[in-house]
């Protein structure tokens, strides 16, 4: 089974590239983030023509997540239980589904904006709700994984120059402590185990030639339980998909499993 996660930074703007990538990479399950469209505007027809069932969760021009599966789609959950709101709105940032016997969650963790901003507190509360969901669902021997844009670099090695990010989000101790909470809940960071090269960044800013200069961050993560981790045979960041005109600022992260 091939499972991928990808922040597409607008499914409508990226649709031709998404369709081409689905045809070439042939993932069985794809977790998408930052759809930037409501469920009614999601391009279902084009994607279902490629054999995928779709569980989307979007309400407008920001946020939005989805799970695409060609190995079955069951037990769909839109939103985290007890998910916190921001400015009186519960945003579409998580969708869970069972695909071919694997339970996955596609998540788009709040950015946080600035450690002094109210959005940062919201981010930490949201991550606690995610941890509670993991504790509730990761109680069996079935493979289980949370995939998506976490907006957190797990270590200093996961950013091109940590000094550039001093005092900003994505690298602060409370955010990284929240990731440690997922590990305490029985999950592990899968991709570094399987990758065969150093500094596997997944995001590069559009500005200042960040991608050609490899000034990136690893913030698109796969956190999974032991049943999932033991089945992993390979993983890679598809840097080719970050190249060229009209690319997302994130690259897909792909994990292969033998189940």
Q: Show which residues are catalytic.
A: 108, 149, 250
Contact of 108 with 79, CB cutoff 8 Å: no
Measuring CA to CA, which residue among 194, 33, 206 is closest to residue 111? 33
| Orientation of helix 118-137 relative to helix 173-184, angle to 10° | 10
Strands 29-33 and 203-204 turn out to be: unpaired
Residue 149 marked as a ligand binder: yes
Residue 128 marked as a ligand binder: no
The partner residues of 55 in beta bridges, in order of sequence, read 67
Residue 256 marked as a ligand binder: no
Measuring CA to CA, which residue among 117, 190, 207 is closest to residue 150? 190
Measuring CA to CA, which residue among 2, 59, 51, 60 is closest to residue 31? 2
Residue 250 marked as a ligand binder: yes
DSSP code at position 67: E
Residues 252, 189: Cα–Cα separation, whole Å: 16
Give the annotated binding-site residues: 7, 34, 149, 151, 249-250
Binding residues for Mg(2+) are: 7, 34, 149, 151, 249-250
């Amino acid at each position: 089974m091939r499972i991928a996660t990808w922040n597409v930074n607008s499914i409508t703007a990226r649709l031709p590239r998404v369709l081409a990538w689905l045809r070439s990479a042939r993932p069985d399950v794809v977790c998408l983030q930052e759809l930037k469209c409501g469920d009614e505007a999601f391009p279902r027809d084009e994607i279902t023509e490629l054999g995928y069932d779709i569980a989307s969760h979007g309400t407008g021009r920001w946020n939005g997540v989805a799970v695409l599966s060609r190995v079955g789609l069951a037990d769909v959950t839109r939103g985290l239980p007890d998910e916190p709101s921001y400015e009186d709105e519960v945003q579409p940032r998580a969708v869970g589904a069972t695909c071919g016997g694997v339970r996955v969650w596609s998540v788009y963790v709040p950015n946080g904006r600035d450690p002094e901003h109210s959005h940062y507190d919201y981010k930490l509360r949201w991550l606690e709700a995610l941890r509670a969901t993991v504790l509730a669902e990761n109680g069996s021997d079935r493979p289980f994984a949370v995939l998506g844009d976490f907006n957190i670099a797990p270590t200093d090695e996961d950013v091109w120059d940590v000094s550039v990010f001093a005092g900003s989000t994505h690298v602060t101790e409370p955010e990284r402590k929240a990731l440690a909470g997922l590990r305490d809940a029985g999950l592990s960071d899968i991709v570094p185990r399987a990758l065969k090269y150093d500094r596997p960044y997944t995001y590069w800013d559009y500005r200042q030639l960040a991608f050609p200069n490899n000034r990136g961050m690893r913030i698109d993560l796969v956190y999974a339980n032991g049943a999932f981790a033991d089945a992993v045979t390979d993983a890679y960041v598809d840097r080719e998909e970050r190249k060229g005109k009209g690319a997302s600022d994130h690259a897909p992260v792909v994990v292969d499993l033998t189940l």
